[in-house]
Amino acid sequence: MSDRYGELVQSPLGKKVAKNLGLPMPIKLDRYEIGQPVIRGEVAFGTAFGGDELVASIIQNVLFDLDAKITTAEHLNEKLTDENAKFKVAIFDATNIKDVDGLKKVYEFFHVLARRIKSSGRVIIIARPECCTGGDVGFAIAQRALLGFVKSVGKEFKKGITANVLYTQIGAEAHLEHALKFFLSAKSAYVSGQPIYIKKSDGLDEFTVVDFDENKPLKGRKILVTGASRGIGAAVAQVLARDGAKLYCLDVPQNLADLQKIAGNLGGYALPLDITEANAAEQIVKACGVLDGVVHNAGVTRDKMLANMSEDKWDLVMDINLKAIHTINDYLIKNQGISDSARIVCVSSISGIAGNLGQTNYAMSKAGVIGLVEATAKQFKGTNQTINAVAPGFIETKMTGMIPFAIREAGRRMNSMSQGGEPVDVAETISWLLSPKADGLNGNVVRVCGQSLLGA
């Protein structure tokens, strides 16, 4: 959908007017393009108290791999004497901060950088989750405090700059690589203000991906996308095809024409099927065989105030958005419908997190999805299978295009990016979670919301 205001304030005159009136000034966010470097500028890298050796070496390897030009903390002030010195990325290893006093290191590093981060820049802090603080209250305080800092930075820095904390379990450092490559890149354009939890994979310690191709990270992976004929689902199918997946595009038989067009264009297989049918899961297995990935994207809204909500509106939303996912997962898990290293990604919603007026049914279904992901993630402990959710905020689609203008404008601007996200932003996040290298991510609910103000 077109964001005319967003285009207007990027014109020379519009920019001037908007600035004078104090209006939001969304910038055009960097997005992933084949051939473009992953990091489009220089990197500032700091640590508190030397940081963690393993974390530091992984960060350095990743940056080296990406040909990044790095300035470390000890050379930062010198570098900044050049008034034109700017950074695309500021990354800080805070894992060694074990008390309140130590948090001063965060201030020192980011204070001088605050005006020196470029548009669509990245702020990334590596931290430890509470389970790694060993009952040391000071350590737990410091690590938890980082999230409050990062969320404030996301709101302050603006200019399309994202800020996130990667809470990395001790022993899970190897999984940082996959997370860093996403958060450093333009693929994470609309993910900001989030804690990401990176865990040890509990399965085979030696699970390694053979023949991994950075340009085709999903090569050879058989992945099912539900609701693939339009909107976010269609964008997911496109990104997964770009990333090399062997695609199964599912949608209701009524959408067969659109579905076949999309599947056809992407070299995928069109699977017209109503997921609420009693034997839907069986039909999926019959059509797809053993899947390496499932994206539960199909979903509907039927908004009404609870007082006016009919039973069929309630049932339809609950059946499609929640019950079908549970039924299908249950069948696939019990009947070897997914592979040993399968990745399941469910689409939740900010509504599921925050609730929404007129959406008791939708919000309940999407909150249930979070419960499903958390409970199934526990079930997957000790395997190489994972399950995660994405929770989109305001995404520019045909669906949101039908929201009345004033409400749509409010939804669009009430986030740190001052703009709605694109379906591709959700799709990139999903593809990242589907990667065979994503075994350190299990049980996460990743908001793709540009740090929406709406929340808990």
Catalytic residue among 5, 197, 248, 362: 362
Nearer to a copy of itself (CB atom), residue 143 or residue 238:
143
Give the H/E segment covering residue 86: none
Tokens standing for 425? 């932003």
Dihedrals phi, psi of 349, to nearest 5 degrees: -170, 155
**Residue labelled with tokens 């929340």:** 455
Task: Collapse the DSSP code of 251 into the 3-class scheme (helix H, G, I; strand E, B; otherwise coil) and give the result.
Answer: strand
β-strand 386-392 against 222-226: which pairing, if any?
unpaired
Nearer to a copy of itself (CB atom), residue 195 or residue 436:
195
Nearer to a copy of itself (CB atom), residue 4 or residue 111:
111
Range 336-361 burial, b when 16+ CB lie within 10 A, else e:
ebbbebbbbbbbbbbbbbbbbebbbb
Instruction: Provide, rounded to whole angstroms, the least separation between the CB of residue 258 and a copy of itself.
Output: 28
Distance between CA atoms of residues 266 and 238, nearest Å: 7
Concatenating the DSSP letter of every residue in 88-118 gives: EEEEEE-TT--STGGGHHHHHHHHHHTT-EE
The count of C-alpha atoms lying within 13 angstroms of the C-alpha of 300, restricted to the half-sphere facing its C-beta, is 17
190 is catalytic: no
Tokens standing for 41? 């500028």
Task: Indicate the residue type of 423.
Answer: P
Instruction: Provide, rounded to whole angstroms, the least separation between the CB of residue 327 and a copy of itself.
Output: 9
Ramachandran region, residue 171 (left: φ > 0; alpha: ψ -120 to 50; beta: rest):
left
Nearer to a copy of itself (CB atom), residue 163 or residue 235:
163
Instruction: Provide, rounded to whole angstroms, the least separation between the CB of residue 128 and a copy of itself.
Output: 11
Instruction: Provide, rounded to whole angstroms, the least separation between the CB of residue 158 and a copy of itself.
Output: 9
Nearer to a copy of itself (CB atom), residue 192 or residue 255:
192
Nearer to a copy of itself (CB atom), residue 289 or residue 382:
382
Distance between CA atoms of residues 168 and 185, nearest Å: 19
Nearer to a copy of itself (CB atom), residue 33 or residue 311:
311
Instruction: Provide, rounded to whole angstroms, the least separation between the CB of residue 401 and a copy of itself.
Output: 23
Distance between CA atoms of residues 223 and 245, nearest Å: 6
- What is the dihedral sign for C-alpha 332, 334, 335, 341? positive
Instruction: Provide, rounded to whole angstroms, the least separation between the CB of residue 314 and a copy of itself.
Output: 5
Instruction: Provide, rounded to whole angstroms, the least separation between the CB of residue 360 and a copy of itself.
Output: 4
Q: Nearest Cα to 236, choosing from 210, 254, 218, 215?
A: 218
Residues noted as catalytic: 362
